[in-house]
A and B are shown apart, each in its own frame.
Chain A
Amino acid sequence: MSAPTLLCAVVFGAMLAVTVAAQPRRFKWVRRLKERDAGAWIPLWTFFAPNPGVNDTRILWREQLVGGASGPWHEMAPPHRSLVRAVWNPDNRVRKAVTDCAPLILRLVGTNRDSLLPMLSLPYLMIVQHMVGLPGSPLGRARQFAVVNTQGEDTEDAPFQLLMMSHWHRLAEDRE
């Protein structure tokens, strides 16, 4: 066996061994390892298992208008259903990021009750930044978001669960 072959065998063997060892997500060291894996080089291959998502965790937002009235709820990154998304689905990454953020925010809020700490976390700040950047009413003065669970199509009798409601976040006076 040549030196390059041996080197490749050792390096790729190690990468494969780390991937195998990192698959059970319940271990603390796996979570720590994944946190340090900034380039996402260690894959997790447990697609939709063992607990497949059977609900849609969605983020809604609304505005508080001048005078204190609240505007209607809007969905952040609503799903689009079309056959075209099989080849062209540019919103997929945004939707995935929003659905990644929601459970992280819920976990942080759950473990830091009555604390403002979750508001400084990356997923919370990402959602607030996105919400504030969305087009809205020129009379809007503040915005808040809610994390909800829904099941199935958006019909009136479909199961709906409010999981969390954020504080109102004041909009900058000089925003366009």
Chain B
Amino acid sequence: MNPQEVALWCALPLAIGISIDALQMIATRGQLAEGGLFGYRVLATGRPMLVDPRLAPVFAGIFRYPAVLGLAAVQLGAASLLLAAATLRAPELVVPAGIAAVVILTSRTLLNLRNQLGLDGSDQMSLVVCVGVAVALLVPDRGAQAVALGYVALQLLLSYSVAGIAKAVSPAWRSGSAMPNIMSTVGFGLPPLGAFLHRHPRLALAACWSVIVLECAALPAILLGTPAALAIIGIGLCFHLSVAVLMGLNGFLWSFAAAYPALLLLAHAVESV
């Protein structure tokens, strides 16, 4: 498997997810203006470096509204380039796509520095994939490319393992009460489904344990090679799709799907060992 080919497969869902996120940011741009939740005058008080007299004018120039929308526009442009490289597969687009990944990484890091709150796991996975894709597309060394994508795959497996272990030690998850309770919240759930699970505790218990087992099994399963990786990807896609539909967490599907091609590369490497 050619790591750069794999990186371009990673770039496809990554670019879609980044584009949706940037468009969502533009759609809610009022929140970035003064008087919005993410107004910069207040946010600047949250980090000493943002009010440092030497750096403050530079940060203010980037982070004040409407200049901050430039970070969304830059991401949209870079994501379009990634998308073109991933679909056209033209060799001359590989390096520009790598640069686009660096641009996305920089923009998102700056936005995280500015906004400070409101981030979730999909933002973190997007950064991880951006790093891996950027290195894989820009460093002309096959070994380094494979290591960069291996990092993406290991972060993916780590995310499932940590989430699975944290659930396995949680009495709420082990007893089966976590899922109906989460689903009963209006913020991240679907109260009718929560009520349904409360009425069917055995189903709730099975649902909780399915999540625990699937998340905990991902890391050891990769030792079984490509068939296991394909199973993780299939189950993972269904899981993240259901999270998007039921909980409204639409970013996870794209950012985690972007890491799956790297998982296949890792499985292939495991098989060859």
- Chain A positions within 8 Å of B, measured between CB atoms, are 1-2, 4-5, 7-9, 12, 15-16, 19-20, 23, 38-41, 43-56, 58, 77, 79, 81, 83, 85-101, 122-123, 125-127, 129-130, 132-133, 150-154
Contacts and interface: CB of A to CB of B under 8 A. Distances in A.
Interface of B: 20, 23-25, 27-28, 31, 34-39, 41-43, 45-47, 49, 109-110, 112-113, 115-121, 123-125, 127-128, 135, 139, 141, 143-144, 146-148, 150-151, 154-155, 158-160, 162-163, 166-167, 169-170, 172-173, 177-178, 181-182, 184-188, 190-191, 194-195, 241, 244-245, 248-251
Nearest to B208: A52
B266 to A, nearest CB: 13
Given A122-B46, A130-B36, A12 B186 contact: no
Given A19-B155, A125-B42, A95 B187 contact: yes
Contact of A54 (B154, B159, B185): B185
Q: 8 smallest A-B Cβ distances: which pairs?
A: A133-B35, A97-B118, A5-B143, A49-B166, A54-B181, A50-B170, A43-B124, A39-B109
Given A9-B147, A49-B170, A153-B191, A126 B37 contact: yes
Nearest to B253: A86
A43 B177 CA distance: 27
A46 B42 contact: no
Nearest to B146: A5
Contacts of A123: 117
B117 A46 contact: no
B166 A8 contact: no
Contacts of B135: 8
Nearest to B120: A96
A132 B38 contact: no
Given A5-B141, A8-B139, A16-B155, 15 more contacts: A5-B144, A7-B144, A16-B151, A19-B158, A20-B158, A43-B125, A45-B121, A50-B172, A51-B170, A56-B186, A89-B24, A94-B31, A125-B42, A125-B45, A129-B35
B185 A98 contact: no
13 contacts: A5-B141, A40-B127, A41-B127, A45-B124, A50-B167, A86-B244, A93-B25, A122-B117, A129-B42, A152-B185, A152-B186, A152-B191, A152-B194
Given A39-B113, A40-B112, A53 B188 contact: yes
A94 B118 contact: yes
A49 B168 CA distance: 9
Given A86-B248, A133-B35, A126 B162 contact: no
